[in-house]
Structure 1
Amino acid sequence: MNWYIAKIVFRISTETKTGKDQFDEHLRLVAANTHEEAVLKARVLGLKEEDYFLNNNDQLVKWEFVNVVDVQLIEALNDGIELYSKIFEMEKSDDYIQYVHLRAAALQTT
């Protein structure tokens, strides 16, 4: 049995459009014998976790499974191993650095 990390994407929508579309990316640990089995198990997780409910304004909120976008084998579970990494480019790097520092400061206060 192998361990995989899977990225599952959900779309969050409401009856009334409130601006930008929202998506939630989940990183999930999946146990499987093969990469193909891990992809299938991640898709099943996504489908099982689709949901809908009424929010505080009595609007229907839907969490719709979009798809599995990445599945990576975890070679070994050791302290400090990299589980996931994403490189992206920013127009304004100072804004991103400030965002990172604000998030880090919030971790220290909780």
Structure 2
Amino acid sequence: MYWFVAKIVYQIICGKGEHLPQFDEQLRLISAINKQEAWKKALQIGEQEQYAFKNQREELVEWRFINVPELYTLDDLKDGMELYSRVEEPENASSYVALLQMKAAQLQSQKSFELNV
């Protein structure tokens, strides 16, 4: 068996979809005997985990599976290895950095961070 990282993409649609387009890109760890099996497993996950619900305004919110656009073989798992990289180009760099610092502080302050979980 080999390990793979698959990018599974969903489109998030609220109501009639009259909003800024939103997509959720998820990285999933897949165990498979080859790349073709890993791709099929990623497709199954994408299809099975689509869902819809009603928000507080009774609008339908859908997570529609788009596809698996990327699949990488993890030849050798190493501590600290890079799994994914994406360059962000925010409109406001200061706000972006502040958001990252706030999220890091919240993570550090969580009790589960101190446990061996």
One-letter amino acid matched to 2:101: H
Percent identity between the two aligned chains: 39
Deviation at 1:92, TM superposition (A): 5.5
CA distance in 1, matches of 2:99, 2:57: 30
Match of 1:101 in 2: 101
Match of 1:28 in 2: 28
Deviation at 1:26, TM superposition (A): 1.0
Q: Which stretch of the first structure deviates more once superposed, 95-104 or 28-37?
A: 95-104
Match of 2:66 in 1: 66
1:10-29 matches, cutoff 5 A: 10-17=10-17, 19-29=19-29
Deviation at 1:41, TM superposition (A): 1.3
Deviation at 1:90, TM superposition (A): 5.6
CA distance in 2, matches of 1:21, 1:11: 8
How well do the aligned residues superpose, as a CA RMSD in angstroms? Answer: 2.1
TM-score w.r.t. the length of structure 1 is 0.81
SS in 1 for 2:85: coil
SS in 2 for 1:39: helix
Match of 1:38 in 2: 38
SS in 2 for 1:77: coil
Q: Which stretch of the first structure deviates more once superposed, 41-50 or 69-78?
A: 69-78
CA distance in 1, matches of 2:32, 2:62: 29
SS in 1 for 2:9: strand
Match of 1:54 in 2: 54
Deviation at 1:80, TM superposition (A): 2.0
Cα 1:107–1:38 shift into 2, 3 Å: same
Structure 1, unpaired ranges of 5+: none
Q: Deviations over 1:57-78 (max 9, x none)?
A: 2211111001112111112233
CA distance in 1, matches of 2:76, 2:35: 15
CA distance in 1, matches of 2:35, 2:23: 25
Q: Deviations over 1:80-108 (max 9, x none)?
A: 22222234556654444333323322322
